[in-house]
Amino acid sequence: MFNHANQNTVRLNIWQQNLNTSLVAQESLLNSPEISNWDVLAIQEPHINFLRNTRANHHWHVLYPTHHLTHPEQRSRAVTLVKSQLDTNTWKQIPFPSSDVVIIQLTGTYGNCTIFNIYNDGE
């Protein structure tokens, strides 16, 4: 969650990892005791099951790319998890026309903070 070091500083903890579509790696990440220290998980190549869902637990809101449901022929290669303790009135997903990008914007007394989770295949 947001940590307030003093009245002028807000800290947001973001974890980024490429899971190479591994269910074992994703379950390991989600069940790690250290993961409770993070507010946002920016995951590239998450495990996606045959129902086109990724794995998460009740501690996280799952954000898929905007095209996840409307373009089923394209595999979603980026997923962002937002800690469920963060007030849903303080963040929103920004639409973007790609199955490889998830954008969220957080808003608070600090202004706006936009996070881009991008899968880059290197080609």
pLDDT per position as a tens digit, 19-76? 999 999 999 999 999 999 999 999 999 999 999 999 999 999 999 999 998 888 889 9
Task: Extract the tokens encoding 24.
Answer: 């074992």
- pTM check: above 0.85: yes
How far apart are alpha carbons 120 and 59 in whole angstroms?
A: 27
Return the SS3 of 14: strand
